[in-house]
Amino acid sequence: MIWNFLISARNRDALPVLTLPQASSTVVPDHPSTTSPPAFPGLEHFGPGHANVWVLMLRLRLISEGWADDQRAALRSDPGLWAARAWDEDLRLACARFQLAQGCRGASADGYPDQLTWDLLWTR
């Protein structure tokens, strides 16, 4: 009936009306999340002279959590994220800020991620 109305010569300009079901304001997944934080790769992947995907993951996580906002602009000029994979003092300081905010002190807040730092970054 509607189709005949739409294709009839009397109403060539008529557009169909699409009615979507009312969306709920609360989205609840129908199953629990199966994702888990990445396993801590070990301290040997971090520090001066290291450039790898683990350094990149740490940097991106610190930026996304607001602990390395000063490094966000540098990502725009690094389209392949190659420079972001290299350990630097800015990353160490961002990691130390995060550690201090979590209550770590002394050697536990040296800016080098340990198991606790890594876990806290992905479970907050």
Question: What pLDDT does 17 receive?
Answer: 55
The β-bridge partners of 86 are: 51
Beta strands in the chain (DSSP E): none
Domain ranges of the chain: 44-124
The pLDDT tens digits for 35-67 are 678 999 999 999 999 999 999 999 999 999 999
Structural tokens at position 75? 């990502």
Q: What is the pTM of this model?
A: 0.71
Angle, CA of 52, 112 and 75, to the nearest 5°: 50
Which residues of the chain, if any, have pLDDT below 50? 3, 24
Q: What is the pLDDT of residue 20?
A: 53
Burial label, 94 (beta-carbon count in 10 A; 0-12, 13-18, 19+): buried
Q: What mean pLDDT value characterizes the chain? A: 83
- Are 62 and 68 within 8 A, CB to CB? yes
Q: How many CB atoms lie within 10 A of CB 100?
A: 13
